[in-house]
Structure 1
Amino acid sequence: SALHFNLFFFLTTFWSLIRLIGPNPCSGRVEIFYNGVWGTVCDDSWDLNDAAVACRQMGCGSAQSALPLAYFGAGTGQIWLDDVLCTGSERDLSQCTHNGFGINNCGHGEDAGAICAVDGEIRLIGPNVCSGRVEVLHNGVWGTVCDDSWDLNDAAVACRQKGCGSALSALPLAYFGAGTGQIWLDDVLCKGNESDLSQCTHNGYGINNCGHGEDAGVICAADGEIRLIGPDLCSGRVEVLHNGVWGTVCDNGWDINDAAVVCRQMGCGSALSAPPLAYFGAGTGQIWLSYLLCTGSESDLSQCTYDGYGINNCIHSEDAGVICAGEKVS
């Protein structure tokens, strides 16, 4: 009807609609609807404050990146906004300073993009990115998870979703401090093989009988963590965690100084030997590190010189190992 059209025209004139053209509704090229036409935003002065407003307007939570140079591909037609300058607190891009609709000196190779936190995403509020209070994003708002029935299966899913490897602990009773605001999930029941918490059984978003003194937490294996696959905790094939995936170390350049760092990192005392050639058996999958060069005084392998994660010309028959003295150091 004419009434509906006029209302739509009023809303889209005074409160511009936006969309993100990309891999999901919360990541993509930023486009504005103005005077009945979709158009792009130029990347001149485009920064995280501007992206924060776009993400808020999309109901997508915090801005992770503000991307220039048509990162998500070049648009076509109108370029509606240029020199956008937001404080980050605005609820709509049209409230930010800009040159005026359609006034720009840009081409579509300069189209601005944004990556926002996605609904169902989680974060860990704690001492590092792989340990902390579990928080879930829903409808653009972060909220906590109640510890009712919270166990290692649930923690395993949270750790997998964060790319943090295996779950070491599932912690109840606001171990990492009490959150505020929403408690989004309660009675979470995961099998442990789900890819994210939203796939697990729960009561429904916001349905709970909890207080923040019951906020759930996790401790996951952190990126850069190591393990030894062998006959005991202090001897074995060296494996490193990166991006949530365990991989081996190539024996190119592998020596007693490198082994000394591994033994120290494992709390296993001094290094007795640095056996090469898959002495403890060949691993599978990724070979993360090669040509490690440690002085022997580093506290963990990530502090040593190496070629870069995944850069190697090795096969698993060259997997490096260590034998440590086995003096468990606290």
Structure 2
Amino acid sequence: MSLKPAVSVILTGSGSTRCSGRVEVYHNNSWGTVCDDGWDLNDAEVVCRQLNCGSALEAPRSAHFGAGTGQIWLDHVTCSGNESSLTECQHSGFGSNTCERGQDAAVICSDVIRLAGSGSTRCSGRVEIFHNNIWGTVSDYNWNFNDAEVVCRQLKCGTALENPQFGHFGEATGQIWLSAVTCSGNESSLTECRHSGWGNNYYGHYYDVGVICSGMIRLAGSTRCSGRVEVHHNNSWGTVCDDGWDLNDAEVVCRELNCGSALKVPTSAHFRAGTGKIWLDHVTCSGNESSLTECQHSGFGSNTCERGQDAAVICSDLIRLAGSGSTRCSGRVEIFHNNIWGTISDYNWNLNDAEVVCRQLKCGSALENPQFFHFGWGNNYYGHYYDVGVICSGDKL
């Protein structure tokens, strides 16, 4: 019976760290490099997971960490991103390549931080820290929006939209590493923030914290909820062409950024022209997608645009309609303040108040001003029995 050769992966090279560097594979009793033909974030994600280095932030090519020596073991690596080992991915065969020295693939991983738990994505989930060779969680004592902002920046996931607590993404098991985290919001890593010390925690996993980041989309040139639409793809930010850009497309952007509803869809670089790549063109959304990249488009980087045709959105920002049975123009009224969404109590709430909400959301006139949590409670305690809602004529048009 033949024994399967030992295969391992390390990161090395000039300027490398435990979780960033040139990718090298051990095969046939020697270390060799990986060619960067087709090398992308899915491939890097597998390497980062295999090395317990969190998520992939970048997939540098062209010997970013210096050229390796010896055999070029892998070429044309194609991973789905879910494999447990790089050698499980499709490739052209060990030692079979069309590469030259200087085309070495590399990775930059998030290192000591990752997002996990039920319902998690690359940019939302339970915050976990790698310390002393063990992954552990963060307790919610003092956890706020500034702390979440640092996590999102560290993971190259845009800006923080929410800072959920109380095991929102499920309770972990094992170690709780950090508690009483206090960030200014400008730190480059969560471990640079003040905290109570590693492992100094007296609470259970019920208090595990999470983050929801804006991910691969942002608004530039104006405010948090209005501006030029920019998309992150292939390690760089680029713009969206305004060919066919409409309210359905803008609605998806506003929802993805937790910015309420779309009010306007400015075109022709209303918030100034962007720079870099034009990533998307001919975007066509139904309006129900959870992410702009789920909508139909002509393909990343495929466009017939010129600079100055940048798409933009103006979202309702501080107000949204939510709750059971809600639509774009009917639901529980919620206001964004101090980085938190909250409700309105029904004391004195009348049709005039509802009229203002409907106008602000460009939903026509107020038809009803329901009270007593008509669209469900905003939270699970008694005061929310009095949450108000609106039903606007926009739903009847």
Three-state SS of the structure 2 residue aligned to 1:189 is coil
Q: Residue deviations 1:242-284, cap 9 Å, x none?
A: 3699875444x245xx33332465478898x855334xx4246
From 315, 326, 330, the counterpart of 2:362: 326
**CA shift for structure 1 position 68:** 11
CA distance change for structure 1 residues 169 and 30 in 2, over 3 Å: closer, same or farther? same
- Distance across 2 between alignment mates of 1:75 and 1:248: 35
CA distance change for structure 1 residues 30 and 145 in 2, over 3 Å: closer, same or farther? same
Question: Is 1:213 aligned with 2:206?
Answer: yes
Question: Is 1:28 aligned with 2:44?
Answer: no
Question: Is 1:170 aligned with 2:159?
Answer: no
**Structure 1 segment 52-131 matched on structure 2, within 5 A:** 61=53, 73-76=66-69, 109=101, 115=107, 117=109, 119-125=111-117, 126-131=119-124
Residues 227 and 313 of structure 2 are in contact (CA less than 8 Å); yes or no, is this contact kept in structure 1? yes
CA distance change for structure 1 residues 148 and 260 in 2, over 3 Å: closer, same or farther? closer
1:239 is matched with 229
Residues 261 and 299 of structure 1 are in contact (CA less than 8 Å); yes or no, is this contact kept in structure 2? no
Residues 69 and 112 of structure 1 are in contact (CA less than 8 Å); yes or no, is this contact kept in structure 2? yes
2:31 is matched with 40
Residues 165 and 241 of structure 1 are in contact (CA less than 8 Å); yes or no, is this contact kept in structure 2? no
Question: Is 1:136 aligned with 2:114?
Answer: no
Question: Is 1:261 aligned with 2:249?
Answer: yes
Three-state SS of the structure 1 residue aligned to 2:177 is strand
Three-state SS of the structure 2 residue aligned to 1:202 is coil
CA distance change for structure 1 residues 61 and 220 in 2, over 3 Å: closer, same or farther? closer
Three-state SS of the structure 1 residue aligned to 2:173 is coil
- Distance across 1 between alignment mates of 2:285 and 2:105: 45
**CA shift for structure 1 position 203:** 2.3
- Distance across 1 between alignment mates of 2:102 and 2:315: 55
Residues 166 and 208 of structure 2 are in contact (CA less than 8 Å); yes or no, is this contact kept in structure 1? yes
CA distance change for structure 1 residues 309 and 195 in 2, over 3 Å: closer, same or farther? farther
**CA shift for structure 1 position 140:** 3.6
Three-state SS of the structure 2 residue aligned to 1:41 is strand
- Distance across 2 between alignment mates of 1:62 and 1:28: 17
C-alpha RMSD over aligned residues: 5.3
Structure 1, unmatched stretches of 5+, are: 1-15, 33-38, 90-103
- What letter is aligned with 2:166? L
CA distance change for structure 1 residues 205 and 307 in 2, over 3 Å: closer, same or farther? same
CA distance change for structure 1 residues 148 and 288 in 2, over 3 Å: closer, same or farther? farther
**CA shift for structure 1 position 132:** 1.4
- Distance across 1 between alignment mates of 2:279 and 2:61: 34
Residues 61 and 141 of structure 1 are in contact (CA less than 8 Å); yes or no, is this contact kept in structure 2? no
Residues 24 and 33 of structure 2 are in contact (CA less than 8 Å); yes or no, is this contact kept in structure 1? no
Residues 50 and 84 of structure 2 are in contact (CA less than 8 Å); yes or no, is this contact kept in structure 1? no
1:277 is matched with 268
* Number of matched pairs: 273
Q: TM-score, normalised on structure 2? A: 0.51
Question: Is 1:180 aligned with 2:173?
Answer: yes
**CA shift for structure 1 position 191:** 0.5
Residues 157 and 214 of structure 2 are in contact (CA less than 8 Å); yes or no, is this contact kept in structure 1? yes
- Distance across 1 between alignment mates of 2:11 and 2:209: 34
**CA shift for structure 1 position 170:** 1.7
Q: Residue deviations 1:186-241, cap 9 Å, x none?
A: 111001111220111112322322221111112222324679968xx7xx655245
Residues 24 and 32 of structure 2 are in contact (CA less than 8 Å); yes or no, is this contact kept in structure 1? yes
Larger Rg: 1
- Distance across 2 between alignment mates of 1:41 and 1:55: 17
**CA shift for structure 1 position 165:** 2.2
Q: Residue deviations 1:7-53, cap 9 Å, x none?
A: xxxxxxxxx9x772244223325488xxxxxx733669xxx8xx879
CA distance change for structure 1 residues 112 and 242 in 2, over 3 Å: closer, same or farther? closer
Residues 276 and 320 of structure 1 are in contact (CA less than 8 Å); yes or no, is this contact kept in structure 2? yes
Question: Is 1:202 aligned with 2:195?
Answer: yes
- Distance across 2 between alignment mates of 1:185 and 1:297: 42
Residues 228 and 271 of structure 2 are in contact (CA less than 8 Å); yes or no, is this contact kept in structure 1? no
- What letter is aligned with 1:277? S
Greater relative contact order, per chain length (Cα 8 Å cut-off, separation 6+): 1
- Distance across 2 between alignment mates of 1:322 and 1:54: 38
**CA shift for structure 1 position 130:** 2.0
Residues 54 and 114 of structure 2 are in contact (CA less than 8 Å); yes or no, is this contact kept in structure 1? no
Residues 124 and 210 of structure 2 are in contact (CA less than 8 Å); yes or no, is this contact kept in structure 1? yes
CA distance change for structure 1 residues 55 and 261 in 2, over 3 Å: closer, same or farther? closer
Identity %: 30
Question: Is 1:308 aligned with 2:297?
Answer: no
Three-state SS of the structure 1 residue aligned to 2:31 is strand
